[in-house]
Amino acid sequence: MHEDRPFREITLQDLERLDPVTLRTARSCANCGRCGGACLARIRDLSPARVLRLLQLGRLDEVLTSRFLWSCIGCRRCSRCCPQELDVAAAVVRLRRLAARHPRATFPKHLLRLLCG
Amino acid sequence: MPPKIGVYLCHCYGVIGKILDLEKLSHQAGKWRGVAVSVHCPALCSDDGLEVIAEDVRQGRVDRVVVGACSPAVHRDTFLRLARQVGLNEHFLERCNLREQCTRAHRDQPALAMAKARNLLKMAVGRLSPAESFEPVSSSTSRSVLVVGGGIAGLTAAENLARAGVNVTLVEKSPFLGGKVARLHRYYPRFCSPRCGLEVLMARLLATGRVTVHTLTEVTGVRGTAGNFTVELLKQPRYVKDTCTGCGACLEVCPVEVAPSAVLPPGRQRAIEGPGLFPYPLNYAVNRVFCRGKSCSRCVEVCPAGAIDLDQEEDRLRIGVDAIILAAGWEPYDAGRINNYGYGRLPGVITNMDLEVLARPDGPTGGQLIRPHDKKPVRRVAFIQCAGSRDKQHLAYCSGVCCAATLKQIDYVRAVAPEAGIFVFYMDIRTPGNLEELYRRAREEHGAVFIRGNPYAVEWDPVAEELVVTADDTLSGSRVAVRAELVVLATGMVPCAVPAFERLEKDTTGFITGHLPCSPIEVRRAGIYVAGCAQEPMDVSTSVKSALAAAAECLATIQNQSVAVPPVVERHKCDRCGRCVEECPYGACSFDTDGYPAVNPLACRGCGICQGGCPLRCIYLPGFSSREMAGLIEAVDPGSMDEQPCVLAFLCANDAYPALDLAGTRGTSYGANILTVRVPCVGAVNAGWINDALLSGIDGVLVVGCRTTECHYGRGTSLAESRVNNLRETLQRMLVEPERVQVLTAGIEDGQSLVAAIKRFVKQLQELGPNPFKE
């Protein structure tokens, strides 16, 4: 059926919550997709490449509520293969900090209590 | 004979005349020493106005002319034409800016504007009195050029120059002409055979009779300057004499097979090679790297013409040429360095250039699309674009032609394998202009599948014996895999290194790009031009255009219709310190046999940087001799500025002077105490003038040039800055405040910010107080 609002508007204000390094990484990404192909921990079609793309479109919520952020095993294949030498792995890990505080985070709540008291 | 100076003031139909009292100025100027005629006219650029000046010159009433009117940046042609028509040397014509930098900018200070106008006119007269006339220098050259590289760019440039009457020596490192283009199967956009175009070009080149070709030859040394280069050549032995008929009997018996590349099997290639489909020269050549030498000698025995001589030795030549065109071309980037793609490791992984070889009917598979190592028919081909390109770990730049090359090769694949699956992994498809047609054809007619994702790795499935390419399809967000018999890597271009030219400036890509966008063809060493892929990655059409451009630039230089007047060297003053030789950005100044500097008129660009740096002021451009500059500085009356500090400003003709003109045209007002002198480059300002100016009581000196990285002559502004810094020490010792000199920079549009900077400087001078040397 016809949607009320068929286009999803790009709003970038959520990105103000990002630290400058992560923001810069997202902006520099040329979307070649290599990190996505390299990632060993892809889950439900989300990958480092997709994460950066969503950030470019201002869709921070989808990133922060994803399981992918927590499935990263730190192999750093993404950072190593990036043609722009972006530290993608570091960005993914840094996003966890924001994700942990998100009300719909997929981070196990009992562990959160352990970390934050 | 004392000079007879005519001072002509222009009302500019009131623009100047309403602010300045030209009757009064004219009357005052008429009393100055050396001035024979002093008049004012409604408009000097009009026919009537020009005729006034012309008549005075013709009748011998004046032999030097000061025009007090608009900026020298406008009506350049008007007054030059006048000078030529009446036989007045252009160095005896001085323009005084009474409009853009006087009445327009000082409308609110008419009295001070008058003082400024008087000063400017007196400076012009003071400078013109001791001036000398100069004619452009023609040097005779033998009109010969060296072209380095026998590919399409080199051949095109050579043919064009030869047709224009120039003697060309063309050297090619490999045994045969034609370069990479001769090895292509087809080229776009017409999909014709490159050999056809090359044959036409070669026929025209040979018809000129003015091209001497040396194959198996490299340049080992270059010395000299435009109009006079000495080049050392090293010619490797061919081991085959000119009696060779190209019959190929030697090829049949040679036991050594040679593979065309690291991943292709040997076809018909042997240690002795023939020219293939483009027979220039026809003679075969022995590849010493692979040949087993005299112990084998099978070719020697079988040759019916007795043409093979394994005892040949290398030869060294030395030639003199006026100019050099560097067209040494490109090499494909080494795909073996891209670890994850398995080039050289996994069977079936090849490059675009390898595919060109395979596609040719005389290639190792006879033009069939079969896997080289096991002859398995290829049912699926995967092309990987940007392989080792746009990647900081390999080549950071884009080579521009690999997209079109792959799309062209998709046509090859379809022609021999109508049912094959064709996949293209890409990041962007770059097909400008009508090359877009290639992209459309690949999708619509050839049914190629495009996957927007750069593959992480190419792997080998040992069970199915096929290659697997995996990538993130960024458009759908899912990971995809393609199985293929053949994977083609679209690798980028790197320039061929020519050691003798190693010190030419390159940009970050490693290509020799010249000064973009103003002079892409000519490099900083005057007389050396770059053409084709030596300059930057380009396709065949663009290489041809670039070669023609290089030939045109080259011809303009060696036609020796020089219009530049090179600087004068006063040998009796010169102590041969060599600073001018070192600082010239174009290598135009060199030591002659007596050790004195000599400037090559073909290489000189008239920047004056030599003049700016000379500690003894013995090298100068016309108009800037010590006497002329002394005349100019002495003419300034520092006390005429009505308590304002008197400032002498040197502005470069490229950016600074027009910027100040612009400020005036826009009506921006600033103090009329700024007296300006136009110089070709701020690097032409000699510290001695600044010294003299301050000693004669001028309160402050400004040196204004282009922004440091934008200097049209490269290093003008940075040299000016270091020279002024050194001068400051001297000034301190003379008990003159070093802050009285400042270097400013401005872009051509920056009139407003320049005026603001000037105002700040004036304020600083007001705080310092008047120059202690002022009377």
CATH classification at residue B68: 3.40.50
Q: Which residues, 6+ apart, have CB-to-CB distance to B311 below 8 Å?
A: none
Classify residue B149 by its DSSP letter. Answer: -
Residue A61 lies in a domain: yes
Q: Is B456 on the interface with A (CB under 8 A)?
A: yes
Question: Whole-angstrom Cα distance, residue B239 to residue B217?
Answer: 14
Q: Which of B466, B492, B518 marks a domain boundary? A: B492
Between B136 and B155, where is the model more confident?
A: B155
Q: Which of B308, B306, B172 is nearest to B233 (CA)?
A: B172
Q: Which long-range contacts (CB under 8 A, 24 or more apart) does B755-759 make?
A: B755/B660, B755/B663, B755/B668, B755/B670, B758/B647, B758/B649, B758/B670, B758/B671, B758/B674, B758/B702, B759/B670, B759/B671
Length of chain A: 117
- Domain check: are B303 and B253 in the same one? yes
Q: Is B418 on the interface with A (CB under 8 A)?
A: no
B160-164, B600-604, B737-741: lowest mean pLDDT where?
Answer: B600-604
Question: Whole-angstrom Cα distance, residue B737 to residue B730?
Answer: 10
Phi/psi at B474 (nearest 5 deg)? Answer: -65, -20
- Nearest-Cα distance to chain B for A113, in Å, is 34
- Nearest-Cα distance to chain B for A104, in Å, is 23
pLDDT higher than 90, residue A104: no
Mean pLDDT over each residue of chain B, to the nearest integer: 93
pLDDT higher than 90, residue B659: yes
Mean pLDDT (whole number) for B257-281: 89
Query: How high is the pLDDT of residue B554?
Result: 92
Question: Whole-angstrom Cα distance, residue B364 to residue B248?
Answer: 17
CA triple B25-B105-B38, angle to 5 deg: 20
- Domain check: are B364 and B250 in the same one? no
Question: Whole-angstrom Cα distance, residue B622 to residue B374?
Answer: 75
- A83/B456 touch (CB, cutoff 8 Å), yes or no: no
SS3 B440: helix
- Domain check: are B381 and B414 in the same one? yes
Comparing CB atoms, the residue among B392, B427, B453 nearest residue A37 is: B453
Q: Which of B538, B346, B299 is nearest to B530 (CA)?
A: B538
pLDDT higher than 60, residue B552: yes
Mean pLDDT (whole number) for B724-750: 92
CATH number at residue B324: 3.50.50.60
Q: Which residue of B has its CA nearest to A48?
A: B472
Phi/psi at B553 (nearest 5 deg)? Answer: -60, -40
Return the CA Rg of chain A. Answer: 15
The answer to whether the bond into B130 is cis (omega within 30° of 0) is no
Residue A7 lies in a domain: no
pLDDT higher than 60, residue B9: yes
Q: Which of B641, B21, B565, B27 is nearest to B7 (CA)?
A: B27
ipTM: 0.86
Contact yes or no for B683/B713 (Cβ under 8 A): yes
Mean pLDDT (whole number) for B381-410: 97
B345-355 pLDDT, tens digit each: 999 999 999 99
* Tokens read off for B624: 């800037």
Contact yes or no for B211/B229 (Cβ under 8 A): no
- The residue segments making up the domain with residue A62 are 18-116
- Domain check: are B40 and B17 in the same one? yes
Task: Tell me which chain B residues have a C-beta less than 8 angstroms from the C-beta of A45.
Answer: 477-478
Contact yes or no for B441/B407 (Cβ under 8 A): yes
Q: Which of B118, B134, B150 marks a domain boundary? A: B134
pLDDT higher than 80, residue B126: yes
**B317: part of which helix (H) or strand (E)?**
strand B315-321
Query: How high is the pLDDT of residue B314?
Result: 96
- B479/A42 touch (CB, cutoff 8 Å), yes or no: yes
Q: Is A66 on the interface with B (CB under 8 A)?
A: no
**B76: part of which helix (H) or strand (E)?**
helix B76-85
- Domain check: are B26 and B124 in the same one? yes
Q: Which residues, 6+ apart, have CB-to-CB distance to B358 below 8 Å?
A: B264, B350, B364, B365, B367, B369, B372
Domain tally, chain B: 4
Q: Which of B440, B472, B492 marks a domain boundary? A: B492
Q: Which residue of A has its CA nearest to B387?
A: A83
Phi/psi at B113 (nearest 5 deg)? Answer: -60, -40
Contact yes or no for B741/B703 (Cβ under 8 A): yes
pLDDT higher than 70, residue B561: no
pLDDT higher than 80, residue A108: no
The whole-model pTM stands at 0.86
pLDDT higher than 90, residue A95: yes
Residue A49 lies in a domain: yes
- B452/A33 touch (CB, cutoff 8 Å), yes or no: yes
Confidence of residue B752 (pLDDT cuts 50, 70, 90): very high
Best A25, A29, A34 residue to mutate vs chain B (most B CBs within 10 Å): A34
Q: Which of B609, B561, B615, B616 is nearest to B588 (CA)?
A: B609
Residue B75 lies in a domain: yes
Question: Whole-angstrom Cα distance, residue B227 to residue B208?
Answer: 22
Query: How high is the pLDDT of residue B52?
Result: 95
Query: How high is the pLDDT of residue B613?
Result: 95
Confidence of residue A112 (pLDDT cuts 50, 70, 90): low
- Domain check: are B61 and B107 in the same one? yes
- Nearest-Cα distance to chain A for B453, in Å, is 5
- Domain check: are B382 and B482 in the same one? yes
B417-459 pLDDT, tens digit each: 999 999 999 999 999 999 999 999 999 999 999 999 999 999 9
- Domain check: are B1 and B13 in the same one? yes
Query: How high is the pLDDT of residue B104?
Result: 93
pLDDT higher than 60, residue A1: no
Q: Is A32 on the interface with B (CB under 8 A)?
A: yes
Task: Tell me which chain A residues have a C-beta less than 8 angstroms from the C-beta of B453.
Answer: 32-34, 36-37
The identity of residue B485, as a single letter, is E
Task: Tell me which chain A residues have a C-beta less than 8 angstroms from the C-beta of B478.
Answer: 45
* Tokens read off for B471: 């990538």
Comparing CB atoms, the residue among B390, B391, B472 nearest residue A36 is: B472
- B479/A84 touch (CB, cutoff 8 Å), yes or no: no
Question: Whole-angstrom Cα distance, residue B239 to residue B290?
Answer: 13
The identity of residue B499, as a single letter, is P
Query: How high is the pLDDT of residue B734?
Result: 86
Residue B116 lies in a domain: yes
Mean pLDDT (whole number) for A93-100: 90
Contact yes or no for B656/B682 (Cβ under 8 A): yes
- DSSP per position, chain A: ---SS-S-----GGGGGS-HHHHHHHHH-----HHHHH-S--BTTB-HHHHHHHHHTT-HHHHHT-SHHHH-----HHHHH-TT---HHHHHHHHHHHHHHSTT--S-HHHHHHHH-
Comparing CB atoms, the residue among B390, B456, B473 nearest residue A81 is: B456
CA dihedral sign, ordered B281, B282, B283, B285: positive
Query: How high is the pLDDT of residue B773?
Result: 86
Residue A8 lies in a domain: no
Contact yes or no for B62/B33 (Cβ under 8 A): no
Residue B619 lies in a domain: no
- Domain check: are B212 and B325 in the same one? yes
Q: Is B470 on the interface with A (CB under 8 A)?
A: yes
Task: Quote the longest CA-to-CA distance of chain B.
Answer: 104
Q: Which of B383, B472, B374 is nearest to B422 (CA)?
A: B383
Query: How high is the pLDDT of residue B601?
Result: 84
Residue B353 lies in a domain: yes
- Domain check: are B519 and B441 in the same one? no
Question: Whole-angstrom Cα distance, residue B664 to residue B672?
Answer: 11
Residue B691 lies in a domain: no
Query: How high is the pLDDT of residue B548?
Result: 97
pLDDT higher than 90, residue B524: no
- The residue segments making up the domain with residue B260 are 238-312
Query: How high is the pLDDT of residue B563?
Result: 64
B40-44, B198-202, B675-679, B713-717: lowest mean pLDDT where?
Answer: B713-717
Query: How high is the pLDDT of residue B277?
Result: 83
Residue B575 lies in a domain: no
CA dihedral sign, ordered A100, A105, A111, A117: positive
Residue A63 lies in a domain: yes
Residue B515 lies in a domain: yes
Q: Is A50 on the interface with B (CB under 8 A)?
A: yes
Query: How high is the pLDDT of residue A105?
Result: 79
Instruction: Count CB atoms within 10 A of the CB of residue B506.
Output: 13
Q: Which residue of B has its CA nearest to A36?
A: B472
Confidence of residue B557 (pLDDT cuts 50, 70, 90): confident
SS3 B720: helix
Residue A5 lies in a domain: no
Mean pLDDT over each residue of chain A, to the nearest integer: 87
% pLDDT > 90, chain B = 81
Residue B571 lies in a domain: no
Domain tally, chain A: 1
Q: Which of B258, B236, B229 is nearest to B313 (CA)?
A: B236
SS3 B624: coil
Confidence of residue A3 (pLDDT cuts 50, 70, 90): low
- Domain check: are B319 and B441 in the same one? no
CATH number at residue A111: 1.10.1060.10
Task: Tell me which chain B residues have a C-beta less than 8 angstroms from the C-beta of A31.
Answer: 427, 474
Query: How high is the pLDDT of residue A117?
Result: 52
Q: Which residue has the tokens 């940007």?
A: B386
**B223: part of which helix (H) or strand (E)?**
strand B217-225
Mean pLDDT (whole number) for B317-336: 96
The identity of residue B27, as a single letter, is H
Phi/psi at B75 (nearest 5 deg)? Answer: 55, 30
